[in-house]
Structure 1
Amino acid sequence: MDETLLQFIRHLRHHGLAISTAETLDAMRVVATIGYSDPSLLRDGLASCLAKTVEDHSHFEECFARFFQSQLGSKTDGHSSDAATNENPSSENQGDGAASGEGEGAGNGQGSGGSGSSQRDSATLNEVIRAAAEAELENIQYRTQRGVYRRKILNALNDEQTLNDIQKLLDAGDDEQAHLLEQARQHRLAMVKELIERQLLLNNDAAGKQLRDATLKDSSLSAMEHYHRERLPPLIRKLAKKMASRHRQRHKRARRGKLDLGKTLRRNMAYGGIPFHRFWKTTRKDKSEIFVLCDISGSVSAWSRVLLLFVEALSDVLPNTRSFVFCGQSIEVTDLFKQYPADEAMAIIQQRHGLGGSDYGLALNSFWNQIEDKLNRRSCVIILGDGRGNGGDTGIEALRSIYHRAKLVLWFNPESHYSWNTGDSEIRRYQSASHYVAECGSLRKLERLLDQLLSLLR
């Protein structure tokens, strides 16, 4: 088993690439065929079976460059041909293959003392690589663990015995041999340190990204600085992609339609795979219409931006969606998302319609007038706002009309539940004309609400 390749695949998975067991086996066949001698050829070969989308290719390029920057920098031709021609490489041989190139890179950096050739450097680093694998160095996460893993690797290298041998040579007066042995030990220690630091950087990058995403998901948007808010769109698209994969259009059994190949093969295994019994499936298309109304005044506008980006990213799952925004009168912005990328469309919406205070009376009445003839028992209405109308008309009658006509009326309030019904908040009145009013004070809560909504619309 090629341990270096498996570490690289684990690195890709940590950075969000979904790689199956079958794709891992394909990657092993690629490496067995082309070897490690040509980095460009290896990158293209692995990308052909591990990266499936344009976004995956972008992440793959970054991960490949970071992971193999020291391993493939000065690969020897002799070892590369061995890696390419060995059809059933053992774990040890493949470990040597990955280590050989890195050993030379390390040797070039450490070889100024003239203690040995590149072959000796490679052999030394091969020992370090094996010891690191034995110490499970790939699990290191934090800088405070460096000393622990350094000691594990040195124990695997039998460093105590080396120190004893050096002391025996000194006691015997053989200072020259003791000096050479100490020089080789220091060279090995330098390789251990370099290997630990490189693995720590690889793991820290993925772990840090996961921690950063988790922090953004659990943080209130009102508490975020502008810098962190700009990092939300990629995270939103990632969450929407994961959510969409769970709520794709479903298939059901039918007497005609598309052949359900997997079920047909499974049910005919007893007949040697001959399809005596065939199974069909058809796609049941959800016809639910989604109407989204977002307040874009004040601090609520940031949450409206998040919701609209979410809805736009879920367009494959929610194709029949119309989006509206308001400060005063409700304005439909569905066409803007069709004409421009989501981020650019949101900037245009904020520039054109994002000025002024909230007027829920005018917003709900104009919203009802625009969708009255479109609402039916398959319609779902999502309203995002804090329900603070500055003491004006609440528009509750229009909301009640929507409530009686639609299948679902959901109100998402980004304010904390403890702030509801304080000051000029009218959220209690809106609760009486909504099927569900929920707090969406963080990205994680909003993700959970949309996930539940998609489950209801099945």
Structure 2
Amino acid sequence: MAGQRSEHGLPGHLVDFVAALRRHGVSVGPGETVDAARVFGALDLIHREHVREGLAAALLRRSGQRQVFDTLFELYFPAALGSGSAEVEVPRVDDVPDGPVDVDALRDILADLLRDGDTEALAELARAVVDALGHSGASGTGVRGAGGQPSWSAYQALRVLSPETLLARILSDLRASGSDEDAFTDEVRRREIRDRIAAFRKMVTDEVRRRTAEHRGRDHVAKTAVPKQAEQVEFLSAHAEQLALLRRTVHPLARRLASRLAVRRKHAKRGTLDMRRTLRRSMSTGGVPMRPAYRKRRPGRPELVVLCDVSGSVAGFSHFTLLLVQALREQFSKVRVFAFVERADEVTHLFDPGAELSGVMQRVLREADLVAFDGHSDYGGSFGTFAEHWGEVVTPKTSLLVLGDARTNYRDPNLVVLSRLVGQARHAHWLNPEPRRQWGTGDSAALRYGEVLPMHECRTAGQLADVVEGLLPV
């Protein structure tokens, strides 16, 4: 498990590993670090997987952090150095040492290992294949980077081997060697082989990452290899899988925000100092205010009105934010939701308690009257429609929340109507998923809207949580 060692030995190496976790958003305190050091004393370091699980148990405290941990563990506690000591030999054309790789023979070996499910042998094969292709390439022409250094490529290795094309061949061999089997058993085998192929692809990718880290450094590889946690993924650049992961984090995030709010309320039970009552009490103690009096707080849960842009550019951000608001709706006396693209329409019923929230954005786009002409965002027209039909819902008891990137497609931003709505509300805030540096560029009216109401950058779920926590009523 040796890697790029710290000058302070194993304890220093552990500290470097913990620092890398912190840089990638995993909160690790001194107590967790001490626990991790005890893991090294309690476990046999030869058993690498035992060490991995022990460190994970000691260092991780929240869900969604395991993928980051595993990626960094592979970089800081690699399974081998260099080409390792794999017993698998890569076949060469005409058995010439360092000659071109015999791809057909290599695929035969891979098919046998995938059929047998020998995980250790597959890992050794992945290591040997990456090393062979990194030094010679499949055609023997060489795969070299800058300065003549070996350049390892998971894409090239997997393209040469094409393990997914071996599925039919492996299943045919299994059917030929087994007894009569039903369709169910055949499907189980098919899925099992697919899982083995996916595991082998990951082995090759991990091996390429390890070899690259040895030459270019762990930190260089970690910048691109370590996946972002769900709360660090930017809404506007998230792909479908990341957005699905974000939606699964809504309720845990809402629970954390609610617990923080409970702590704030606990520490804010007393109101401001009541000077008149305090002076009256001090008369019994010679004018010394021994028993200060406080005004009773009368916290009220405000009403919440949400105006959200659901056009394609910000639909993922709006969906996540609305789900978060729905999970926190008990913090408000009433919540009303209005979606808009070119015009606004109320969609509160789609987010009511007990409503089915899967596919809710598709229902919003299908059932609500949001488009008038070309389907491009029109903030000014939407604010006008809202003020005309539902302007009375914004009152001195209302908190107004606007969600969107403020890109008006060069249409009238309608600042007059928005200013009137903000003036009617108790509080008003705008949550913008675009980076602050892009506000005011192109067709963005963010800076102009920012003069009417506070605008907050909410590019990630983490930023959104911080903003919403600050806006929740105490």
Q: TM-score, normalised by structure 1?
A: 0.48
Structure (1 or 2) with the greater helix fraction: 1
